[in-house]
Amino acid sequence: MTDNTPPLKINPTLLKRRNAAEKRFRFYGLAAVMTAVLVLCLLLTSIISKGYTAFQQTYILVDIRLDAESIDPKGTKRVEDLAAASYKGLLRNALREQFPGIEGRKAKRSLYGLVGSAADFDVRDAVLDNPKLVGTTATIAVKSSDDVDSFYKGYIPRDVPESNRKIKDRELAWLDTLAADDRIVKKFNVDFFTNGDSREPEEAGILGAVVGSLYTLAITLALCFPIGVLTAIYLEEFAPTNKWTDLIEVNINNLAAVPSIVFGLLGLAIFLNFMGLPRSAPIVGGMVLALMTLPTIIIASRAALKAVPPSIREAALGIGASRMQTVFHHVLPLAMPGILTGTILGMAQALGETAPLLMIGMVAFIADIPGSMSDAATVLPVQIYLWADSPERGFVEKTSAAIMILLAFLVVMNAIAVILRKRFERRW
Amino acid sequence: MEQLALFFALLFLTVLGFILGKGRAVALSGHSDQPLHSRLPYYGLYTALWCGLPSLLIMAGWMIFEPQIAEMLVASQLRDSDASITPDQLTLYINDVVNLASGGILSREPDAALLSAADNYSLFRQISYFAMAVVAIAFSLLALFTSLKKINPALRARNQVEKVVSIIMMISSLIAILTTVGIVFSLIFETLRFFDKVPFFDFLFGTHWSPQTALRSDQVGGSGSFGAIPLFAGTMLITFICMVVAIPVGLLSAIYMSEYAGKKFRAFAKPVLEVLAGIPTVVYGFFAALTVAPFFRESGTLLGLSVSSESALAAGMVMGIMIIPFISSLSDDVMNSVPQSLRDASYAMGATKSETITKVIIPAALPGIVGAVLLAMSRAIGETMIVVMAAGLAANLTANPLEAVTTVTVQIVTLLVGDQEFDSAKTLAAFALGLLLFVVTLVMNVVALKVVRKYREKYD
Nearest to A152 by CA among A115, A184, A199, A182: A184
Chain A: closest CA distance from residue B253 (Å): 5
A28: confidence class by pLDDT, cuts 50, 70, 90: very high
Say if the Cβ atoms of A355 and B384 lie within 8 Å.
yes
Residue A30 has pLDDT above 70, yes or no: yes
Who among B64, B173, B409 is closest to A261 (CB)?
B409
What number of other Cβ atoms are within 10 A of residue B125's Cβ?
A: 17
Contacts of A268 in chain B (CB under 8 A): 416
Provide the angle, in degrees to the nearest 10, between the axes of the packed helices A105-112 and A169-180. Answer: 50
Say if the Cβ atoms of B381 and A259 lie within 8 Å.
yes
Q: How many helical (H) and strand (E) elements, i.e. helices and strands, does chain B have?
A: 17, 2
What CATH number labels B225-459? 1.10.3720.10
Using an 8 Å Cβ cutoff, are A96 and A102 in contact? yes
Residue A80 has pLDDT above 80, yes or no: no
Contacts of B398 (CB under 8 A, 6+ apart): B233, B237, B405
What whole-number distance in Å separates Cα of residue B456 and Cα of residue B347?
24
Contacts of B283 in chain A (CB under 8 A): 43, 47, 352, 384, 403, 406-407
A168: confidence class by pLDDT, cuts 50, 70, 90: confident
Nearest to A87 by CA among A129, A114, A119, A39: A119
Contacts of A37 in chain B (CB under 8 A): 269, 272
- Whether B221 has its CB under 8 Å from any CB of chain A: the answer is no
Q: In this structure, what DSSP letter does residue A184 have? A: E
What whole-number distance in Å separates Cα of residue A60 and Cα of residue A145?
10
What whole-number distance in Å separates Cα of residue B48 and Cα of residue A117?
57
Domain coordinates in residue numbering, chain B: 2-155, 225-459
User: All domains of chain A, ordered by start, with CATH?
Assistant: 56-188 (no CATH), 207-424 (1.10.3720.10)
Q: In this structure, what DSSP letter does residue A164 have? A: G
DSSP code per residue over A87-129: -HHHHHHHHHHHSTT--SHHHHHHHHTTB-TTHHHHHHHHHHH
Contacts of A50 in chain B (CB under 8 A): 290
Side by side, the strands of the sheet bearing A56-65 are A137-143, A56-65, A184-188
Contacts of B360 in chain A (CB under 8 A): none
Backbone CA torsion sign across A98, A99, A104, A109: negative
Query: What pLDDT was estimated at residue B318?
Result: 95
Query: What pLDDT was estimated at residue B96?
Result: 76
Residue A323 has pLDDT above 80, yes or no: yes
Contacts of A39 in chain B (CB under 8 A): 276, 321
Using an 8 Å Cβ cutoff, are A109 and A120 in contact? no
Query: What pLDDT was estimated at residue A264?
Result: 93
Say if the Cβ atoms of A262 and B437 lie within 8 Å.
yes
Q: What are phi and psi of B257, to 5 degrees?
A: -65, -40
Query: What pLDDT was estimated at residue A246?
Result: 86
Say if the Cβ atoms of A30 and B388 lie within 8 Å.
no
List the single best residue of B186, B321, B326, B453 to mutate versus A (max A Cβ within 10 A).
B186
Contacts of A78 (CB under 8 A, 6+ apart): none
- Whether B249 has its CB under 8 Å from any CB of chain A: the answer is yes
Contacts of A388 in chain B (CB under 8 A): 282, 285-286, 289-290, 389
Contacts of B352 in chain A (CB under 8 A): 18-19, 21-22
Say if the Cβ atoms of A26 and B354 lie within 8 Å.
yes
Who among B186, B289, B413 is closest to A388 (CB)?
B289
Who among A260, A322, A410 is closest to B384 (CB)?
A260
Segment A388-428, tens digit of pLDDT: 988 888 888 899 999 999 999 999 999 998 888 888 877 76
- Whether B188 has its CB under 8 Å from any CB of chain A: the answer is no
What whole-number distance in Å separates Cα of residue A263 and Cα of residue B180?
10
Q: In this structure, what DSSP letter does residue A280 have? A: T
pTM to 2 decimals?
Answer: 0.88
Who among A21, A238, A276 is closest to B67 (CB)?
A276
Q: What residue of A is the nearest CA neighbor of B176?
A: A252
Residue B217's SS3 state is coil
Nearest to B411 by CA among B374, B384, B442, B441: B384
Contacts of B430 in chain A (CB under 8 A): 265
Contacts of B333 in chain A (CB under 8 A): none
The Cα diameter of chain A in Å comes to: 123
Q: What are phi and psi of A51, to 5 degrees?
A: -105, -20
Q: Checking phi first, is residue B335 left (phi over 0); if not, alpha (psi -120 to 50) or beta?
A: alpha
Query: What pLDDT was estimated at residue A17?
Result: 92
Say if the Cβ atoms of B441 and A19 lie within 8 Å.
no
CA angle A122, A125, A130 (to 5 degrees): 130
Residue type, A322: S
Q: In tens digits, what is the pLDDT along chain B, a chain of 460 residues?
A: 577 888 899 999 999 999 998 888 888 887 767 788 888 889 889 999 988 888 988 888 888 777 778 778 877 877 777 767 777 777 777 777 777 776 666 666 667 777 787 788 888 888 888 888 899 999 999 999 998 888 888 888 899 999 999 999 999 989 988 999 999 999 999 899 888 888 888 888 888 888 776 555 555 555 567 888 889 999 999 999 999 999 999 999 999 988 898 899 988 888 888 889 999 999 999 999 989 999 999 998 898 888 888 889 999 999 999 999 999 998 988 888 889 999 999 999 989 999 999 999 999 988 889 999 999 999 999 999 999 999 888 788 888 888 888 999 999 998 888 656 666 778 888 999 999 999 999 999 989 888 887 877 777 6
Over its C-alpha atoms, chain B yields an Rg (Å, rounded) of 31
Chain B: closest CA distance from residue A57 (Å): 22
Nearest to B310 by CA among B340, B290, B326, B327: B290
Q: B293-302 — which CB contacts under 8 Å span 24+ positions?
A: B293/B390, B296/B402, B300/B402
Say if the Cβ atoms of A352 and B281 lie within 8 Å.
yes
What number of other Cβ atoms are within 10 A of residue B180's Cβ?
A: 22
Say if the Cβ atoms of A25 and B354 lie within 8 Å.
yes
